[in-house]
Structure formats: C-alpha cells, structure tokens
Structure 1
C-alpha cells in the first residue's frame, strides 16, 4: 500500500487529492482506502504537474465526499 495524497477538494462528484511527491502515482483503477483502511473509491485520473500531480478518485456508494476533504488516501 502506498500513499496517494491529501484530499484538497471535491469537484464534479470526485475527490481530488494532491500527491506528496513525484513518486510514481497510482494506476488508474486502483482501489483507494482512507486512514482507517476503509475502501472509499477508485482512481479515475491522474493530472497536473509531474512533480506533484493530482489524483481524481470516484467515491463508492455511501461515501460522503465532504468527509474525505483534509484526509489522507492510500492506494492498494
């Protein structure tokens, strides 16, 4: 498991996380969990600058987007 980044905002029904480093970002389709290891969604896009990309995560049913803002996400 590796860290995806910190959720900085929501947009269009997606959680947008800012990656910490230029380390290889997660693959599109990767499962994403929160700090309590609960599955919250899947990676649908990686975009932005190479040194600190953004990762778009589509949430699973029943996951409140607002509750993810400010939290750390991890890819399995």
Structure 2
C-alpha cells in the first residue's frame, strides 16, 4: 500500500485530493483502515503538484474525509 495523497475538499459530490505520487484514472482508493473510499475519475492541475478526483463509494460520507490521507495498493 502506498500513500496517494490527502483529501482537500468535497466538490460536486467528488473528493478532491492533492496527489503525493503518480496515480491513474480508475485506481481504487482506500483510507488508513483499508476501507474502500472510491475510484479515481480525473487527474488535473499542474504536473508538478497534481490533484485527483475520486467518486466516493456509497458507504462513505465525503465531508468526514476532508483532511484525511488516502492510499492505493
């Protein structure tokens, strides 16, 4: 498991995350307890400091994840 970034805000139902490593669209995203948070649907922003958007899983309440780290396998 590797750190993908951290959730910075919720916008239009998506989790917006600041990336700390390369990430691909379609990648499953997990929280620190290995629970599925959702899947990456977009990567955007400057190449040096990109962001990525995650469609949250139905079991996730997005506002509770703001400020939390997220991971990928």
| Partner deviation per Cα, 1:35-74 (whole Å, 9 max, x = no partner) | 1110110000000011110010000112000011000011
Report the TM-score, using the length of structure 1 for normalisation.
0.89
Report the TM-score, using the length of structure 2 for normalisation.
0.93
What is the aligned residue count? 73
Q: Secondary structure at the match of 1:42?
A: strand
Question: Is 1:19 paired with 2:19?
Answer: yes
Query: How far, CA to CA, are the matches of 1:62 and 1:56 in structure 2?
Result: 17
Q: Which runs of 5+ in 2 are unaligned?
A: none
Match of 1:55 in 2: 52
Q: Secondary structure at the match of 2:63?
A: helix
**C-alpha RMSD of matched pairs (Å):** 1.0
